Each structure stands twice: as C-alpha cells, then as structure tokens.
Amino acid sequence: MPTRQIGPFTVSAIGLGCMNLSHAYGVPPSPEEGERILLAALDAGVTLFDTAALYGFGANEKLVGRVMKPHRSRFTLASKGGMAGVQFDDGVKRVIDGSPAAIRRDCENSLRHLQTDVIDLYYLHRWDKRVPIEDSVGAMSDLVRAGKVQTIGLSEVSAATIRKAHAVHPITAVQTEYSLWTRNPEIAVLDACRDIGAAFVAFSPLARAYLTGRLTDVSTLDAKDIRRPMPRFSPENYAANLKLLAPYAALADELGCTPAQLALAWLLHKAPHIVPIPGTTRLDHLHEDLGAAEVQLSADAMARVEALINQHNVVGPRYAPQGTGEVDTENFA
C-alpha cells in the first residue's frame, strides 16, 4: 500500500472510515462482521482508521477499541468530538456542542471506548457556531498538552475557519466530504490545507455508494438510512444523477478498473495531501476499494472523468437545510 503523510504520521494512502460498521446506512452489520472488516483492512495494509463519538452513539468507538486494541501500535487512530449522543428523557439525541467542557467530556468518553491512552488525530466533528472556533480549538490544544491527543483536526469547515483555528494551534488535518459529485473543497479548502501543511481527509469519497454504480434504486434504502432526506437521493433527483453513470462506468472499464476504483484513484491523483477514507461492510468491497491505489490515471483521463460528473451536472444539494446549516464549508454559487 502506498503511503501519505498526516502531520507526523505516515499512513496508508487509503484509510478506512469505520462509521457504517455501526451507523448511518440502515441496519449495521453484526459486531462479528465488523470485526472481520477491521482486521481484514489492517492485514491488507490500512494504517488509518477513522471513527467518532457520534457513530452509533459510542458503539463504533467501542467496536474499534475492542477489536483493534491488541494492534494499537500498527495504525493511526482518528476520532472526533464536539458532536455526540446525549441522553435526554425521551432517548439519546445527536447534539453539536463545541464548548470546552463538552470537548473534554467527549474526549474522555472516546479514550475509554477506544481502550487507549491517546488518540493520534482528534477532530472537532462540527464547528458549533455558538462557540468561537478559537475557544473550541483552545480546549483541544489543552488535550494535546495533557497527552490525551497527539494532533488535532477539523471537519466540514471553511478556509477562513481553518486559518483562524490554525492560529491557535497547528491543524494537522481537515476532513470534509469530497468526491466527483461533491467538489466544494476545490473552492478554497484544499488550498488552505496545502498552505498550512495539513492533510485533507476525504470522507464519502464514493458519494455514499453512488459512484460504485451499485445503488440503482433509492426506494430500497432502509427507512432510517441517512441518505433518505438528502436531496440528491430523492427519487426524482437520483434518477437524473443515474444518467451520468453510464459514460462514467464505460470510462472505468476502458481504464481497466471498477467505477469505485476510478473514484478513489481520481482523489489520489488530485493532490498528494489528500487521503480518502471509504467505508464498507463487505470484504469484497474493501479489497476492491484498496485496489484503487494501483490505478494510474493520465492527465487526459483525469480531465475526462472530471467532465463526466461534477458540480455543474449533479442534481440536488448534498444536504437538506438542517444539514447545510450545520456545516461551515463553502458552496458553489
């Protein structure tokens, strides 16, 4: 597996997003199946594992902690706080809270769930716009000084917020959705990361399965699947977006790879500071994704694939109004 740099850490060029082993896309796999995915990824050379306090309201961190504790020295561990499940009278609900007290609480819970003394890369999962970014990052820098976190990162923030945060404490990585159909980071964030020496970690690099070509009927999505309220996955919009896939799949076939591998290879060729973290619940898909590291794309192939699926022809915003309001990323006009 080729490697890339995230601050002081040399990691596999393709990491593993662990979220869907416990969260988000309908009924998650069993813990035993999740364990098989994690260990298979490690055996295949993956050395970046990404989780968060939010995923499964702690269940994902507990799974990663239990399974990966014996192998802790072999990989870089990333998690996120500032957005977690909080117990209310009517159940556990997702809460964005970037206050210093909440960040300390989330980190302590994550350390316990992950069964580790230190988290290598700790992100602010969402910027709580009620709290100055300087205050949230200041609390995270306290965690670094306390030895509980080695480096810190941000998720779904703008270039301006990145620079404000970096003035308080070095930002090692920024994590944002990035794929052929979500190109927002190209506005300013990719450049901001390069300028400050931060890695850019691309989540949902396969466009939540769209770019695999395997999701052809959104009516089959589970009732609790987080894609259901996303505008791009509405039946009407998704039907329009599906029309983009036939020439894209044909190009992948011409280049000797699968559509999923083409999507990941495109990210790897965009810039050396980009690290995609696809997630999966299947071993065959895991090995398919990792095979993208071997796909070589010429400048002509890059231009052709970018012309097929981009911000000008994808139908629908990536989030519904609530989700859009929770992120700080730039948007195309």
Q: Which residues contact 1 (CB under 8 A, 6 or more apart)?
A: 12, 13, 14, 44, 45, 46, 47, 290, 293
- Give the separation between CA 222 and CA 77, rounded to whole angstroms: 30
171-177 and 149-155 beta bridge pairing: parallel
Per-residue tens of pLDDT for the chain, all 333 residues:
999 999 999 999 999 999 999 989 999 999 999 999 999 999 999 999 999 999 999 999 999 999 999 999 999 999 999 999 888 888 888 999 999 999 999 999 999 999 999 999 999 999 999 999 999 999 999 999 999 999 999 999 999 999 999 999 999 999 999 999 999 999 999 999 999 999 999 999 999 999 999 999 999 999 999 999 999 999 999 999 999 999 999 999 999 999 999 999 999 999 999 999 999 999 999 999 999 999 999 999 999 999 999 999 999 999 999 999 999 999 998
Report yes or no: 53 and 125 within 8 Å, Cβ to Cβ.
yes
**pLDDT reported for residue 85:** 87
Strands (E), 213-280: 274-276
**pLDDT reported for residue 122:** 98
Please identify, in words, the CATH class of the domain defined by 3-326.
alpha beta
Report yes or no: 47 and 2 within 8 Å, Cβ to Cβ.
no
Bridge partners for 202 per DSSP: 176, 276
Report yes or no: 56 and 94 within 8 Å, Cβ to Cβ.
no
- Give the separation between CA 320 and CA 223, rounded to whole angstroms: 16
- Give the separation between CA 333 and CA 325, rounded to whole angstroms: 16
**pLDDT reported for residue 333:** 81
- Give the separation between CA 146 and CA 137, rounded to whole angstroms: 14
**pLDDT reported for residue 149:** 98
Q: Is 162 helix (H, G, I), strand (E, B) or coil?
A: helix
Strands (E), the chain: 3-6, 9-12, 16-17, 48-50, 76-81, 83-88, 91-96, 119-124, 149-155, 171-177, 199-203, 274-276
- Positions marked catalytic: 55
Q: What pTM did the predictor assign? A: 0.97
In Å, how far are 41, 160, 314 from 18, measured between CA atoms?
11, 29, 27
Per-domain residue ranges of the chain: 3-326
